[in-house]
Structure 1
């Protein structure tokens, strides 16, 4: 999950194609096919899944639903705060506050009946896809990157994102709802908790979802790589809708692939290291954001003019490998992620535990 997020984010911090043209075209193709508007959906699916796990643990300890709902909302409020600070201090691409606001608004649905959840997914999927498609079409007509709006000084950087943050966060709630509540539905059945009991379902989801994602996202990936173009507005919209709609299927399918692997793989050092990173995902999501500032911003190392798309994907992969190594070291030393510790203390202190 964090690897895909890094692959999606890192290229946004460079000005253009400073590297070899074939490599940069291949990088844009892979980023569009694998990461854009798909990595987020895997992330959101797992967030929804985790909400049910959290609620289940509390109910197993004897907490009533009113108490659990209060806990979820308290957690949501602090996620909004963390996401705001991430946007202000680090980079203006944040999903944490969107998670928090969505949960704050829709916490009762975590326990809603399945038909209500399915209807919520269905009714939000179309407008969410159209919103994403509109963003994609705008990007086709006028490509833009964060590199274009990076501030030259730290002081200017710290205030630049504040005015647009509320509107961007509110609008983005719609985008995350479909995958989030599919994650809630999956958690009800313990699909990833007990993957060995759900292998046929996981296989179907993985095969169908990845098949749909590849077929639906390939035209946009070819456009991103410069291998194909169109001047037709209807075709541009069709390509964008297909890319972003099947990104939901692909995100859920990638989570299913992880479930299939988890059901078969033997635990070892590598698995333990990956699990350690997953247990500290918020910490290392923020760690990624910090590194983008250090590497690319004009008041830091200012590499945004010196790298092409392919190089940034290499940097993204390197950041992820470093994250795995650091998380594994923290595991070996018995240290939890500082962001997870802080979020838990803030949430449970107000919850009375």
Structure 2
């Protein structure tokens, strides 16, 4: 069976990544693409690297006919998604890539995003899109809330150890290096080449990053009690990729064993041999996550490393993986492309 797919917000980085992946998907067909400022343009003019594909032109959302659409990927900005999704047909399957439905608690959403949720009834319906931990619920979901890319990296690093009870819960520090495409495609002065290159820039320091809401939600659920981690992201002068180092207390071998047990049958999560560390260059352009555990010289201390591509496994690849589950397709369909190296 072939499913007709619409991508809302197709002129952004995650929209282009969705097109790149779905273009070779065995059972998905891109039937509609929407944009705001670039409505009326051909996709090849917005993204020349997609010029070889036969794609519909970009139109405004209000011009779309959803009667023949089976699933919508919503790659719109935060706060815009909830208003748009609220008005979509109720029989339509939706995978949202924004932050609008990630937090189950309406009060938590208001705390981290500074405004009340516009569709709280849908917020309660949404299934959190961390595929490997919510697989069964995703199979029957109508509305799927994709994770934040930083959040996914930290959650893959720490959830197995928290669930296994092999690390301390009150002294977790997550140090994350993040590529510039995670900030989106809109023009920003601090993302100009002269401002960004040849330097590293911590941001959202002091516990202000919005993905902390996802960490609080998921780590506390896994632990059965409140867990508040320390998290600092740093912008690095690279186009794609996230490299996370999580500093924890616990026995390194026990942590490694817990991670290997949790991910033994996962097609996209690869645990490296004990003591090896991952690199963003080894997952670039792919849906794979590489994870490593290193024992530190201080007894009872370890570092858990994770590397993923923020646009693929951190966002659009994850979205396609979840869509496969929601449509009853093979979970890995369209996603086994090898990383791009060098």
- TM-score of the superposition, structure 2-length normalised? 0.28
Q: 1 or 2 for the larger relative contact order (CA 8 Å, sep ≥6)?
A: 1
Looking at secondary structure, tell me which structure has more helix per residue.
1
- TM-score of the superposition, structure 1-length normalised? 0.28
